Structure 1
Amino acid sequence: MKTQFTLLILTFGLFLNSCKAQTDLINDEFPEVKQEVMETFGAIAQSIMDGDMDKLISFHAYGPKFTEFKNGEPRNDGEANEAHERNVFGSVTKVIKFEAQDLQVAVYGDVANLTFHSDFVLQFGEDIVTVNDQITLLFVKTKDGWKMVHEHHSPLKK
Protein backbone atom coordinates (compact mmCIF):
# COMPACT_ATOMS: atom_id res chain seq x y z
CA MET A 1 0.00 0.00 0.00
CA LYS A 2 2.85 2.39 0.88
CA THR A 3 4.48 1.73 -2.51
CA GLN A 4 1.23 2.47 -4.35
CA PHE A 5 0.79 5.72 -2.39
CA THR A 6 4.37 6.79 -3.16
CA LEU A 7 3.86 5.98 -6.85
CA LEU A 8 0.62 8.00 -6.84
CA ILE A 9 2.38 11.01 -5.26
CA LEU A 10 5.26 10.81 -7.78
CA THR A 11 2.84 10.56 -10.71
CA PHE A 12 0.82 13.52 -9.43
CA GLY A 13 4.03 15.54 -8.99
CA LEU A 14 5.13 14.80 -12.54
CA PHE A 15 1.69 15.82 -13.81
CA LEU A 16 1.84 19.14 -11.96
CA ASN A 17 5.37 19.80 -13.17
CA SER A 18 4.37 19.14 -16.80
CA CYS A 19 1.45 21.55 -16.44
CA LYS A 20 3.84 24.30 -15.30
CA ALA A 21 6.19 23.61 -18.22
CA GLN A 22 3.53 24.27 -20.86
CA THR A 23 4.53 26.49 -23.72
CA ASP A 24 3.53 30.16 -23.74
CA LEU A 25 2.35 30.49 -27.35
CA ILE A 26 2.01 34.27 -27.08
CA ASN A 27 5.37 35.19 -25.55
CA ASP A 28 7.81 32.36 -26.33
CA GLU A 29 10.06 33.07 -29.33
CA PHE A 30 10.66 29.53 -30.74
CA PRO A 31 14.00 30.42 -32.42
CA GLU A 32 14.46 27.04 -34.14
CA VAL A 33 10.99 27.21 -35.65
CA LYS A 34 11.54 30.84 -36.70
CA GLN A 35 14.61 29.64 -38.58
CA GLU A 36 12.54 26.97 -40.39
CA VAL A 37 10.00 29.61 -41.45
CA MET A 38 12.79 31.95 -42.60
CA GLU A 39 14.31 29.14 -44.66
CA THR A 40 10.91 28.53 -46.25
CA PHE A 41 10.55 32.24 -47.00
CA GLY A 42 14.05 32.23 -48.55
CA ALA A 43 13.05 29.28 -50.75
CA ILE A 44 9.89 31.14 -51.80
CA ALA A 45 11.97 34.17 -52.79
CA GLN A 46 14.43 31.95 -54.66
CA SER A 47 11.60 30.29 -56.60
CA ILE A 48 10.43 33.75 -57.73
CA MET A 49 13.97 34.80 -58.70
CA ASP A 50 14.41 31.53 -60.61
CA GLY A 51 11.01 31.88 -62.33
CA ASP A 52 10.03 28.44 -61.00
CA MET A 53 6.25 28.79 -60.71
CA ASP A 54 5.62 25.16 -59.77
CA LYS A 55 8.06 25.51 -56.86
CA LEU A 56 6.42 28.80 -55.81
CA ILE A 57 2.96 27.23 -55.86
CA SER A 58 4.23 24.25 -53.82
CA PHE A 59 4.67 26.55 -50.80
CA HIS A 60 0.89 27.11 -50.62
CA ALA A 61 -1.66 24.93 -48.82
CA TYR A 62 -4.56 25.48 -51.18
CA GLY A 63 -7.86 24.23 -49.90
CA PRO A 64 -11.20 25.54 -48.66
CA LYS A 65 -9.54 27.57 -45.87
CA PHE A 66 -6.98 29.40 -48.06
CA THR A 67 -7.61 33.16 -48.33
CA GLU A 68 -5.91 36.18 -49.86
CA PHE A 69 -6.43 39.93 -49.73
CA LYS A 70 -4.76 42.16 -52.31
CA ASN A 71 -5.23 45.48 -54.08
CA GLY A 72 -8.11 46.50 -51.80
CA GLU A 73 -10.34 43.90 -53.44
CA PRO A 74 -12.61 41.41 -51.67
CA ARG A 75 -11.03 38.24 -50.31
CA ASN A 76 -10.23 35.55 -52.86
CA ASP A 77 -9.39 31.85 -52.68
CA GLY A 78 -6.55 29.53 -53.58
CA GLU A 79 -7.63 29.11 -57.19
CA ALA A 80 -7.53 32.88 -57.75
CA ASN A 81 -4.24 33.18 -55.84
CA GLU A 82 -2.56 30.49 -57.93
CA ALA A 83 -3.77 32.01 -61.20
CA HIS A 84 -2.57 35.47 -60.13
CA GLU A 85 0.85 34.27 -58.96
CA ARG A 86 1.44 32.20 -62.08
CA ASN A 87 0.38 35.15 -64.26
CA VAL A 88 2.35 37.86 -62.44
CA PHE A 89 5.50 36.08 -61.32
CA GLY A 90 5.51 33.91 -64.44
CA SER A 91 5.70 37.10 -66.53
CA VAL A 92 8.77 38.51 -64.74
CA THR A 93 11.68 38.68 -67.17
CA LYS A 94 14.19 39.93 -64.60
CA VAL A 95 14.27 40.38 -60.84
CA ILE A 96 16.22 43.59 -60.31
CA LYS A 97 15.68 43.84 -56.57
CA PHE A 98 13.92 41.53 -54.13
CA GLU A 99 14.25 42.67 -50.53
CA ALA A 100 12.07 42.28 -47.47
CA GLN A 101 12.37 45.23 -45.08
CA ASP A 102 11.34 45.16 -41.40
CA LEU A 103 10.87 41.39 -41.57
CA GLN A 104 9.27 39.80 -38.51
CA VAL A 105 8.28 36.22 -37.78
CA ALA A 106 5.88 35.41 -34.95
CA VAL A 107 5.51 31.71 -34.16
CA TYR A 108 2.51 30.27 -32.34
CA GLY A 109 3.28 26.56 -32.21
CA ASP A 110 2.38 25.12 -35.63
CA VAL A 111 1.30 28.52 -36.98
CA ALA A 112 3.64 31.35 -37.99
CA ASN A 113 2.91 34.88 -39.12
CA LEU A 114 5.57 36.48 -41.34
CA THR A 115 5.27 40.22 -42.03
CA PHE A 116 7.47 42.59 -44.02
CA HIS A 117 7.57 45.62 -46.29
CA SER A 118 8.42 44.61 -49.83
CA ASP A 119 11.10 46.45 -51.75
CA PHE A 120 10.81 44.68 -55.08
CA VAL A 121 11.86 45.93 -58.49
CA LEU A 122 10.70 43.59 -61.23
CA GLN A 123 11.07 43.79 -64.97
CA PHE A 124 8.28 42.65 -67.28
CA GLY A 125 9.68 42.86 -70.81
CA GLU A 126 10.63 46.54 -71.15
CA ASP A 127 8.50 47.66 -68.18
CA ILE A 128 10.02 48.04 -64.73
CA VAL A 129 7.66 47.84 -61.75
CA THR A 130 8.43 48.73 -58.14
CA VAL A 131 6.39 46.95 -55.47
CA ASN A 132 6.36 48.57 -52.03
CA ASP A 133 3.66 46.71 -50.09
CA GLN A 134 2.92 45.63 -46.56
CA ILE A 135 2.79 41.85 -46.79
CA THR A 136 1.56 39.22 -44.36
CA LEU A 137 2.10 35.54 -45.03
CA LEU A 138 0.41 33.12 -42.62
CA PHE A 139 2.04 29.69 -42.47
CA VAL A 140 0.89 26.38 -40.99
CA LYS A 141 3.26 23.50 -40.28
CA THR A 142 2.22 20.47 -42.33
CA LYS A 143 3.72 17.02 -42.82
CA ASP A 144 5.33 18.53 -45.96
CA GLY A 145 6.82 21.55 -44.17
CA TRP A 146 5.62 25.13 -43.69
CA LYS A 147 2.85 26.13 -46.12
CA MET A 148 1.08 29.44 -46.71
CA VAL A 149 -2.63 29.45 -45.89
CA HIS A 150 -3.22 33.21 -46.13
CA GLU A 151 -1.63 36.16 -47.90
CA HIS A 152 -2.36 39.83 -47.45
CA HIS A 153 -0.85 42.55 -49.66
CA SER A 154 -1.59 46.25 -49.28
CA PRO A 155 0.27 49.34 -50.55
CA LEU A 156 2.77 50.85 -48.14
CA LYS A 157 2.29 54.58 -47.69
CA LYS A 158 5.41 56.57 -48.45
Structure 2
Amino acid sequence: MKLSVKFVLIMILGILIFGCKEKVEVEEVKIDLLNDEFPEAKQEISMTLDSIAQSVKDGNLDKLISFHAYSPKFTEFKNGEVRNDGTENEKFERGVFGSVTEILKFDMNDVKIAVYDNVANVTLHTDFHLKFGEDLAVVNEQMTLLFLDTENGWRIVHEHHSPLNQPEEE
Protein backbone atom coordinates (compact mmCIF):
# COMPACT_ATOMS: atom_id res chain seq x y z
CA MET A 1 0.00 0.00 0.00
CA LYS A 2 2.89 2.34 0.70
CA LEU A 3 4.15 1.77 -2.82
CA SER A 4 0.85 2.86 -4.40
CA VAL A 5 0.70 6.02 -2.26
CA LYS A 6 4.26 6.90 -3.31
CA PHE A 7 3.34 6.21 -6.94
CA VAL A 8 0.28 8.47 -6.75
CA LEU A 9 2.28 11.25 -5.09
CA ILE A 10 4.98 11.02 -7.78
CA MET A 11 2.31 11.17 -10.49
CA ILE A 12 0.70 14.25 -8.91
CA LEU A 13 4.09 15.91 -8.52
CA GLY A 14 4.89 15.16 -12.18
CA ILE A 15 1.59 16.61 -13.35
CA LEU A 16 2.15 19.75 -11.28
CA ILE A 17 5.69 20.23 -12.59
CA PHE A 18 4.77 19.71 -16.23
CA GLY A 19 1.55 21.68 -15.81
CA CYS A 20 3.46 24.66 -14.46
CA LYS A 21 5.73 24.73 -17.49
CA GLU A 22 2.75 25.46 -19.70
CA LYS A 23 2.83 29.09 -20.80
CA VAL A 24 -0.30 31.10 -20.30
CA GLU A 25 -0.54 33.95 -22.73
CA VAL A 26 -2.22 37.09 -21.44
CA GLU A 27 -3.38 39.46 -24.10
CA GLU A 28 -2.60 43.03 -23.18
CA VAL A 29 -5.45 45.44 -23.71
CA LYS A 30 -4.22 48.56 -25.45
CA ILE A 31 -5.75 51.83 -24.36
CA ASP A 32 -5.98 54.49 -27.04
CA LEU A 33 -5.93 57.68 -24.98
CA LEU A 34 -6.78 59.84 -27.98
CA ASN A 35 -9.72 57.86 -29.34
CA ASP A 36 -11.21 55.67 -26.58
CA GLU A 37 -14.32 57.30 -25.15
CA PHE A 38 -14.24 56.01 -21.51
CA PRO A 39 -18.07 56.14 -21.21
CA GLU A 40 -18.21 55.31 -17.50
CA ALA A 41 -15.83 58.16 -16.69
CA LYS A 42 -17.79 60.55 -18.93
CA GLN A 43 -20.96 59.67 -17.03
CA GLU A 44 -19.22 60.24 -13.68
CA ILE A 45 -17.95 63.64 -14.84
CA SER A 46 -21.38 64.60 -16.17
CA MET A 47 -22.87 63.76 -12.78
CA THR A 48 -20.10 65.79 -11.11
CA LEU A 49 -20.99 68.81 -13.29
CA ASP A 50 -24.63 68.42 -12.26
CA SER A 51 -23.56 68.30 -8.60
CA ILE A 52 -21.42 71.40 -9.04
CA ALA A 53 -24.38 73.29 -10.53
CA GLN A 54 -26.67 72.07 -7.75
CA SER A 55 -24.21 73.18 -5.05
CA VAL A 56 -24.23 76.68 -6.57
CA LYS A 57 -28.04 76.72 -6.77
CA ASP A 58 -28.26 75.55 -3.16
CA GLY A 59 -25.71 78.13 -2.02
CA ASN A 60 -23.60 75.32 -0.56
CA LEU A 61 -20.15 76.88 -0.89
CA ASP A 62 -18.33 74.14 1.00
CA LYS A 63 -19.77 71.55 -1.40
CA LEU A 64 -18.78 73.72 -4.38
CA ILE A 65 -15.23 74.05 -3.09
CA SER A 66 -15.04 70.29 -2.45
CA PHE A 67 -15.13 69.68 -6.22
CA HIS A 68 -11.66 71.23 -6.50
CA ALA A 69 -8.36 69.44 -5.85
CA TYR A 70 -6.36 72.33 -4.49
CA SER A 71 -2.64 71.66 -4.44
CA PRO A 72 0.48 73.53 -5.53
CA LYS A 73 -0.37 72.34 -9.07
CA PHE A 74 -3.83 73.98 -9.18
CA THR A 75 -4.11 76.86 -11.66
CA GLU A 76 -6.80 79.20 -12.94
CA PHE A 77 -6.97 81.77 -15.73
CA LYS A 78 -9.81 84.29 -15.92
CA ASN A 79 -10.54 87.68 -17.43
CA GLY A 80 -7.15 87.87 -19.15
CA GLU A 81 -5.43 88.28 -15.78
CA VAL A 82 -2.34 86.51 -14.53
CA ARG A 83 -2.63 82.92 -13.36
CA ASN A 84 -4.28 82.27 -9.97
CA ASP A 85 -3.62 79.44 -7.56
CA GLY A 86 -6.03 77.41 -5.45
CA THR A 87 -6.12 79.94 -2.61
CA GLU A 88 -7.16 82.75 -4.96
CA ASN A 89 -9.68 80.50 -6.73
CA GLU A 90 -11.37 79.51 -3.48
CA LYS A 91 -11.44 83.13 -2.25
CA PHE A 92 -12.99 84.28 -5.54
CA GLU A 93 -15.61 81.51 -5.69
CA ARG A 94 -16.65 81.99 -2.06
CA GLY A 95 -16.84 85.75 -2.58
CA VAL A 96 -18.85 85.64 -5.80
CA PHE A 97 -21.18 82.71 -5.18
CA GLY A 98 -21.54 83.70 -1.53
CA SER A 99 -22.91 87.08 -2.66
CA VAL A 100 -25.52 85.74 -5.09
CA THR A 101 -29.02 86.54 -3.87
CA GLU A 102 -30.91 84.78 -6.66
CA ILE A 103 -30.09 82.50 -9.58
CA LEU A 104 -32.36 83.15 -12.54
CA LYS A 105 -30.50 80.87 -14.95
CA PHE A 106 -27.54 78.54 -14.57
CA ASP A 107 -27.05 76.77 -17.89
CA MET A 108 -23.95 75.00 -19.11
CA ASN A 109 -24.24 74.67 -22.88
CA ASP A 110 -22.30 72.84 -25.58
CA VAL A 111 -20.60 70.64 -22.97
CA LYS A 112 -17.84 68.42 -24.34
CA ILE A 113 -16.16 65.89 -22.07
CA ALA A 114 -12.89 64.43 -23.34
CA VAL A 115 -11.47 61.73 -21.08
CA TYR A 116 -7.84 60.63 -21.25
CA ASP A 117 -7.85 57.76 -18.72
CA ASN A 118 -7.64 59.50 -15.32
CA VAL A 119 -7.63 63.07 -16.69
CA ALA A 120 -10.53 64.81 -18.41
CA ASN A 121 -10.87 68.09 -20.24
CA VAL A 122 -14.35 69.62 -20.08
CA THR A 123 -15.26 72.56 -22.29
CA LEU A 124 -18.55 74.42 -22.19
CA HIS A 125 -20.31 77.76 -22.63
CA THR A 126 -21.89 79.35 -19.60
CA ASP A 127 -25.21 81.19 -19.59
CA PHE A 128 -25.54 82.29 -15.98
CA HIS A 129 -28.01 84.98 -14.90
CA LEU A 130 -27.19 85.86 -11.31
CA LYS A 131 -28.66 88.54 -9.08
CA PHE A 132 -26.60 90.37 -6.52
CA GLY A 133 -29.26 92.29 -4.64
CA GLU A 134 -30.99 94.29 -7.37
CA ASP A 135 -28.07 93.99 -9.81
CA LEU A 136 -28.24 91.37 -12.56
CA ALA A 137 -25.02 89.81 -13.88
CA VAL A 138 -25.12 87.77 -17.07
CA VAL A 139 -22.09 85.53 -17.42
CA ASN A 140 -21.51 84.20 -20.93
CA GLU A 141 -18.09 82.58 -20.99
CA GLN A 142 -16.07 79.87 -22.61
CA MET A 143 -14.99 77.65 -19.75
CA THR A 144 -12.47 74.85 -19.58
CA LEU A 145 -12.28 72.62 -16.52
CA LEU A 146 -9.49 70.09 -16.22
CA PHE A 147 -10.47 67.16 -13.99
CA LEU A 148 -8.35 64.50 -12.34
CA ASP A 149 -9.78 61.19 -11.10
CA THR A 150 -8.82 61.18 -7.41
CA GLU A 151 -9.68 58.91 -4.51
CA ASN A 152 -12.50 61.41 -3.79
CA GLY A 153 -13.85 61.26 -7.35
CA TRP A 154 -13.31 63.59 -10.30
CA ARG A 155 -11.94 66.92 -9.05
CA ILE A 156 -11.02 70.18 -10.80
CA VAL A 157 -7.27 70.88 -11.01
CA HIS A 158 -7.43 73.75 -13.51
CA GLU A 159 -10.02 76.32 -14.64
CA HIS A 160 -9.90 78.67 -17.59
CA HIS A 161 -12.54 81.33 -18.23
CA SER A 162 -12.72 83.72 -21.15
CA PRO A 163 -15.51 85.87 -22.61
CA LEU A 164 -17.77 84.22 -25.16
CA ASN A 165 -18.29 86.45 -28.17
CA GLN A 166 -21.96 86.77 -28.97
CA PRO A 167 -23.09 86.97 -32.59
CA GLU A 168 -24.07 90.48 -33.56
CA GLU A 169 -27.77 91.07 -34.06
CA GLU A 170 -28.69 92.43 -37.47
Assess same fold via TM > 0.5: yes
Q: What is the TM-score when the length of structure 2 is the normalising length? A: 0.85
Of residues 55, 60, 67, the one that matches 1:52 is: 60
- Cα shift readout 1:10-63 (whole Å, capped 9, x = no counterpart): 3xx32xx21xx2111110011111000010110000000111111100110001
5+ long unaligned stretches in structure 1: none
2:113 equivalent to 1:94:
no
CA-atom RMSD in angstroms: 1.6
Secondary structure (helix, strand or coil) at the match of 1:148 reads strand
Query: Which stretches of structure 1, 4 residues or longer, exceed 6 Å deviation after superposition?
Result: none
Of residues 69, 73, 78, the one that matches 2:86 is: 78
- Cα shift readout 1:68-123 (whole Å, capped 9, x = no counterpart): 00000011100000000000011000110011111110011111111100011000
Aligned pair count? Answer: 151
Which protein shows a greater Rg? 2
Q: Distance in 2 between matches of 1:154 and 1:128?
A: 19
Secondary structure (helix, strand or coil) at the match of 2:105 reads strand
2:15 equivalent to 1:7:
no
Q: Distance in 2 between matches of 1:39 and 1:101?
A: 15
Q: Distance in 2 between matches of 1:58 and 1:44?
A: 9
Q: What is the TM-score when the length of structure 1 is the normalising length? A: 0.91
Counterpart residue number, 2:119: 111
Q: How far apart are 1:5 and its partner, in Å?
A: 9.0
5+ long unaligned stretches in structure 2: 1-16
Q: Distance in 2 between matches of 1:42 and 1:114?
A: 13
Of residues 160, 165, 168, the one that matches 1:157 is: 165
